[in-house]
């Protein structure tokens, strides 16, 4: 039996942020490397990218502003979106019983924002709930934007990534354990429902 609060069957990331969360120069300064020596710059950049992905996985955050699509095979009672922070539901589409791709009007649903998720439910003005959909895979598509803009990423999140990148650089190993200082800096943002890594 399907639960009341249901997460998407899958997510599709539709944009890929390219800007680094912290700069190569910042990591080099933290590691006390000569700023004029560019020999390791490409390697450091790869460590910054890897650190960003690992801190995102550890914390449950989408750090840089990113667009996603969340897919459902039908409308549940409540759609639970665990993408954060600054979650914005930009559009909801569904395939009608006649197999026509249709945009759900903004007046037909409401969004309840919680600490770790956003819940989407039928509007109180809609007595019959969400519309019926075509019986097919990915019948409902939720368009989600989340993450911080480059200028608004919190300093403690950036520092967490920088410290992990320095640890990778020091150990010449992308699989090095996340330092405790990095964990403590993102602890206020951590999603208790994500799978933790070391």
pLDDT at 171 over 90: yes
Q: How far is CA 34 from the centre of its chain?
A: 34
Query: What is the rounded CA–CA span in Å between residue 195 and residue 198?
Result: 10
CB 136 within 8 A of CB 98: no
The string of DSSP codes covering 134-156 is -SSTT-EEEEEEESB-GGGS-HH
Query: What is the rounded CA–CA span in Å between residue 111 and residue 51?
Result: 32
Rounded average pLDDT over 79-107: 95
Query: What is the rounded CA–CA span in Å between residue 177 and residue 14?
Result: 30
Helix (H, G, I), strand (E, B) or coil at 91: strand
pLDDT at 179 over 60: yes
CB 17 within 8 A of CB 56: no
Q: What is the pLDDT of residues 97-143, one digit of tens each?
A: 999 999 999 999 999 998 889 999 999 876 778 999 999 999 999 99
Tokens found for residue 1: 């039996």
Ranges of beta strands (E only) in the chain are: 5-6, 10-13, 66-72, 78-81, 88-95, 101-103, 109-113, 118-122, 140-146
**Main-chain dihedrals φ then ψ at residue 93, nearest 5 degrees:** -120, 155
Angle at 81 between CA 78 and CA 85, to 5 degrees: 140
pTM (2 d.p.): 0.88
Query: What rounded mean pLDDT belongs to the chain?
Result: 92
């Amino acid at each position: 039996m399907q639960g009341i609060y249901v997460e998407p069957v899958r997510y599709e990331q539709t944009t890929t942020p390219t800007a680094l969360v912290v700069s190569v120069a910042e990591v080099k300064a933290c590691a006390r490397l000569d700023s004029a020596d560019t020999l390791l710059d490409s390697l450091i950049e790869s460590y910054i990218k890897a650190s960003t992905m690992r801190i995102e996985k550890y914390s449950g955050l989408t750090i840089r502003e990113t667009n996603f699509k969340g897919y459902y095979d039908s409308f549940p009672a409540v759609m639970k979106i665990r993408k954060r922070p600054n979650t914005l539901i930009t559009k909801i589409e569904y395939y009608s019983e006649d197999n026509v791709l249709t945009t759900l009007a903004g007046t037909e649903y409401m969004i309840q924002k919680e600490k770790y998720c956003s819940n989407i439910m039928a509007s109180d003005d809609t007595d019959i709930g969400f519309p019926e959909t075509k019986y097919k895979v990915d019948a409902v598509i939720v368009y989600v934007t989340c993450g911080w803009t480059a200028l608004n990423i919190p300093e403690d999140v950036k520092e967490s990534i920088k410290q992990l990148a320095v640890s990778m650089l020091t150990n010449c190993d992308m699989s090095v354990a996340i330092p405790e200082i990095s964990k403590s800096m993102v602890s206020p943002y951590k999603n208790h429902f994500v799978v933790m890594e070391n």
